[in-house]
Amino acid sequence: MLVDVPPEIAIRATIKPGSVYYFTEGSFSSSEPHYFIVLNSDPLNDQVILLVCASSKIDKVMKRRKTCPEETLIKVNSVQYPDFPVDSIIDCNSILQVTITKLVEKLSKRELRLKTEMDPVW
């Protein structure tokens, strides 16, 4: 998190395509935090922020999405994105929609961590 910067300014100053946030999503069956990547090309001016989730359970995701086009599942290793502690997969078939306000609230409550921006690997 940016030191001594109000959460709204921290989110608005850093959000862009490829921004990565680490937080727990209440609609998931797992209570563990996940990495979420911003898809919007202009998130500051969009009302809804589109996020895709990365999972370290590559085989489980591949099995669950076996009928989906291969290009909608993106494998990323720690060389491509050093913040991932292990190889992961981004499932572009499931998109989480949030608002900037929700991201700000999570950051205010210390329920969200800002991570290193991801280079476009897709």
DSSP-based three-state secondary structure for 76: strand
- With bands split at pLDDT 50, 70 and 90, how would you rate the model's confidence at 120? low
Residue 27, token pair as written in the block:
């609609």
> 100-108 vs 7-14: helix axis angle to the nearest 10?
130
Q: List the Cα angle 115/117/118 in 5-degree steps.
A: 115
What are the pLDDT digits (tens) for 41-90?
999 999 999 999 999 999 999 999 999 998 999 999 988 899 998 999 99
What domains lie within the chain, and their CATH numbers? 7-115 (2.30.30.110)
